[in-house]
Amino acid sequence: MDKFEQEGVSILIVEDDPGILMLLRTFFTARGAIVATEKDGRNVLARVEQNRPDVIILDVIMPHVDGLTVLAVLRQAGLKTPVIMLTDQNTIDDKVKGLEFGADDYVTKPFSTRELLARVKSLLRRSMQKDDNKENEILSVGRLQIQVQAREIVDEDGIKLHFTKTEFDLLCFLARNKNKAVSHAELLKEVMGYNNDIETKALVMHIANMRRKLQKMGDPEFKIVTVAGIGYKLEAA
């Protein structure tokens, strides 16, 4: 059986469908995880603050408080726990909004439990990586300064831009490889912690959200361009 590499991995599953909830609880418990569950979003913030799970699996469509609202509340409270959303097939807007609100990835129903396990493991590897950034490192691209240790993006007028954790990490990686094409596979592995056997459109959506935020500030004096057949490149003078 494909168990977790770490002992005592804690997972919070928030899902209103009792069948799916039981399936996931049984599946992850059998693989060595400590699993807590919630049937809707009303008590999630308190549960996360109390138990500090390693990963949250969060359904989007739920009664009382939906998953997007829960996600926004968690991020506003400063909680950076990795989140995987469970979405329906035709809810593209929910996927985009979820990633924009700070989700790390999504899985579309119906889904494979093996696929979900692989994504949970990837997020665990990423969250447990040591921060090897140089002290006070500042990356300058166009009109922006990226203050790596402070995890802040500031324009030349001192105005801060809000990027999610994943968006910030992607921007740093692209900025460090300025004017070089970076492959999808490299971004998925080095930034998002994914192996080559995981297929996800989350990267494309993260990049789209980043572009929208940059466009709102006017001309940032650099572009994140798509390199056909390869990936992306941050073009700057």
How do the domains of the chain map onto residue ranges? 10-128, 138-236
Which CATH code fits 138-236?
1.10.10.10
| Distance set, CA 185 to CA 5, 40, 84, 119, 225 (Å) | 23, 35, 20, 15, 16
Q: Between 3.40.50.300, 3.40.50.2300, 3.40.1390.10, 3.40.50.150, what CATH number should domain 10-128 receive?
A: 3.40.50.2300
Digits of tens for pLDDT over the chain (237 positions)? 666 767 789 999 999 999 999 999 999 999 999 999 999 999 999 999 999 999 999 999 998 999 999 999 999 998 889 999 998 866 677 788 888 889 999 998 989 999 899 899 988 888 776 555 556 788 999 989 999 988 899 988 888 898 988 999 999 999 999 999 999 999 998 998 887 767 678 899 999 999 999 988 877 889 999 999 999 999 987
Bridge-partner residues for 140, per DSSP?
A: 145
* Strands 34-38, 10-14: pairing kind: parallel
| Residues whose CB falls within 8 Å of the CB of residue 113, separated by 6 or more in sequence, listed in order | 23, 24, 27
| pTM of the model as a whole | 0.81
